[in-house]
Amino acid sequence: MVPLLLRPATKNYFWGGSRLKSDFSIESDDAILAEAWMLSCHPDGNSTIMNGPLKGMALADALLAESENVLGQNNATLPNFPILIKLIDTASDLSIQVHPDDVYATDKEGVFGKTEMWYVLDAREDAYLYCGFSREISKEEMQKRIEENTILEVLNRVSVEAGDVLFIEAGTIHSIGAGILLAEIQQNSNTTYRVYDYDRTDPAGNKRDLHIQEALEVTHKTRVTDPVKRPAMVQMEGYSIAILAACPHFTVDLISVDEQAALFCGGESFASLIFIEGEGSIVFRNNAFGKTGVMQVSKGDSLFLPAGTGAYEIQGKCKVLRTVR
């Protein structure tokens, strides 16, 4: 399999904005664009291949059709594709929510749990997130506060700006506030337990479903301290790199290319490349991709590199989120 350029699945949730279209050239017929699923094999929204002999196929279908292990040795025994990567634009607040871990999700939902991380691409001056509790609480207090609509009073409200990183372990209550543009790298799950939704209604006057009992079971009720990180960039020849997150589910690097970055995709894992700034080209050194082996890339592009792609160089001036497992 050659490296794949992907078209994201898109979601027009009511809280979304327009910056994914204006800033990242994500195509959508909807006026509101809340999420672009840049790398997805999830049944709720598949990425589509835009190049090569598999052009037009859903990524999930293409991976199933491959006899070789394009996902890599680390992922050979997994029942499903392990990662989902989104760009998210919030014009208004998301609901207060929580995701289950693998044990609970496998038992109750038959799917992966959802640990995730956020990399803030941009945020208005007063932007904030909720991440965990500001103090330890009991299950009884959590339930009472949900019933009385006072859960916000005990949540950890965090101001954010571009470049901030937050790691959201499964079981951490959280929400993204209005005016934030971010990349979300997560386990391949769409299981969300909604706790509080500001008493909002849809155009028909209906409130969205809440999932109180499930949330009470899976939520970590301990205090979360200092959730925002800003990993240091390490200078390399022609580029700099920072590890944004490393856990059993994914490893995410920020690569800032000044001239060129010589990189490698081995047999252990596939790699996802999401271009978040600038433009350039990728030169692949694997002869199987032809003598030229060059792809032009720009902000908003998403590439899937199959395991064993080998040596490649990103040339130009750009920033890239690289994810492997």
Which active-site residues does the annotation give? 194
> Is residue 294 within 8 Å of residue 218, measured between CB atoms?
no
Number of Cβ atoms within 10 Å of the Cβ of 156: 19
* Torsions phi, psi for 155 (to 5 deg): -90, 155
Strand partners, 277: 319
Q: Tokens representing 100?
A: 């289950």
Strand ranges in 124-211 using DSSP code E only, listed in sequence order: 128-133, 155-159, 165-168, 174-176, 180-187, 193-196
CA distances to 20, 52, 120, 185, 271 from 4, in Å = 21, 7, 25, 19, 11
- Dihedral sign computed on CA atoms, order 101, 116, 210, 41: negative
Which one, of 266, 103, 122, 263, lies nearest residue 180 by Cα?
122
Find all residues with CB under 8 Å of 207, minimum gap 6, and list them: 197, 199, 200, 201
Residue 152, CA distances (Å) to 84, 134, 143, 197 in order: 28, 10, 13, 11
DSSP H stretches of helix in the chain: 19-24, 59-65, 102-108, 139-148, 212-218
Beta partners for residue 202, in sequence order: none
Amino acid at 11: K
